[in-house]
Structure 1
Amino acid sequence: MRTPPVDLDELLGRCHAIAGLTLGQLAAQLELPLPADLRRDKGTVGQLLELALGASSGSKAEPDFPHLGVELKTLPIDRHGKPLESTYVCVAPLTQVTGLRFEESWLCRKLSRVLFVPVLAERSIALAERQIGSAFLWQPSAEQWQLLRQDWEELMELISLGGLANIRGAHGKVLQLRPKAANSKALTEAVGAGGEPIQALPRGFYLKASFTAAIVRQQFS
């Protein structure tokens, strides 16, 4: 594993060095095996990039580059630069959420400064042939923060009032809440419709693809 970059310039320099490589070429450089596809190894691409760039937080509740305050997000795109899916941010708390403020949330910490690494990832392209694009740093504008805050507060209110089962992917303008579990047996505690403790699938916060598409357009326009 590479040592963490000392500053943003070194981090962006590392990004520049891998831009244009295929995932197969990067895996070969790192002397790591690459699966044939992502059906059983969904986190492979993110892990490759973390190793190549020297991310150090692992699964802790802090950004991937804690000393720089930077979170790393892989962004699968098509050949027109359009994101192909929503972007996972972090696990959502399902209990003891009353009184939790947006500014104190894990989501807020994760999104305060994001390094997006686009990867050309159309399904017709074999995993090893998928190409790494030009990474860029993003910090939410005041307007984007407001949209994120509104969605987060609305979703957290539904969770606290026992409305978890009623939350759909269509909820939220820029943020969505979706099940995030290895399988249907990986249950966690949550609040039921009557305020009682229940078992439910863990949930994760995701940035909607329409939101990341706007971020990409803003960056490369």
Structure 2
Amino acid sequence: MAPRFLTTPPPDEEILLARAQALAGYTLGELAQQAGIATPADLRRDKGWVGMLLEMYLGASAGSKPERDFAHLGVELKTIPVDAQGRPLETTFVCVAPLTGNSGVTWENSHVRHKLTRVLWIPVEGDRAIPLATRHVGAPLLWSPTQQEEELLQRDWEELMDMIVLGQVERITARHGEVLQIRPKAANSKALTEGIGEHGQPIMTLPRGFYLKKSFTAPLLARHFLL
């Protein structure tokens, strides 16, 4: 049975997961055609297109708002491009990193933890040799971090946030953090935002985002799919 185009939010996790499972095995082109939207030639200018397409079938409510995609269920949707062996091909964006106004922010009330408490992972073929329209959607995984995973995330988050608060944002590289990293996230080098400099002075710098490293998502998927 072909998956249906849904505008109603799923009432519970079970129905959300069933909707996601119904998409597995279809190509992005098949889903786009049924939804009546054009498939772009590639994702260079349409980075969020795959997520947007799947949200339409799952009944996501958040859109571009900073809350979780299924706010009423407390679930975040993450599509993840994978290779033929099911290994992630790139890092996973979590949320924008706050560069100012961080007094009183702890791991417990952080945006990163809020976003990663419950995640619906949907792997999608990501090999660039496969045309976008013929890439298949994989089987979904509804995940919450184990205690060990949460400890790893918290340790990295605290280290990276300490650097931001201490005015070292310009020193942060993608190598910092074992499983979580901070990288510039901007359409171009002119899109600057406020940050804190080494002497506590306001500076203008590129916006930054938190990303999960492949070293975190690969074992997570491997465990689930018994790779």
Query: Smaller-chain TM-score range?
Result: over 0.9
Distance between the aligned counterparts of 1:150 and 1:135, measured in 2? 28
Is residue 20–residue 131 contact of structure 1 (8 Å, CA) maintained in 2?
A: yes
> Within 5 A, what are the aligned runs for 1:11-160?
11-160=16-165
1:13 deviation in Å? 1.3
Unaligned runs of 5+ in 2: 1-5
TM-score by length of 2: 0.95
Letter in 2 for 1:189: E
Tell me the matched-pair count. 221
- Does 1:176 pair with 2:178? no
How much identity, in percent, do the aligned residues show?
57
1:192 aligns with 2:197: yes
92-101 or 19-28, larger mean C-alpha shift: 92-101
Cα distance in structure 1, aligned partners of 2:200 and 2:151: 29
Q: What per-residue deviation string (whole Å, max 9, x for no partner) do you get for residues 28-60 of structure 1? A: 111111110011111111111111111101232
Distance in 2 (alpha carbons) for counterparts of 1:141 and 1:174: 14
* One-letter identity of the residue aligned with 2:120: L
Amino acid in structure 2 at the alignment position of 1:58 = G
SS in 2 for 1:49: helix
What residue ranges of structure 1 are gaps of 5+ in the alignment? Answer: none
SS at 1:102 equivalent? coil
Query: In the aligned structure 1, how far is the partner of 2:164 from the partner of 2:171?
Result: 9
> Partner of 1:56: helix, strand, or coil?
coil
The partner residue of 1:5 within 2, 10, 13 is 10
- 8 A contact 1:61–1:106 mirrored in 2: no
Partner SS for 1:69: coil
Q: Alpha-carbon deviation of 1:99?
A: 2.7
Q: Which letter maps to 1:99?
A: G
CA apart distance, 1:180:
0.8
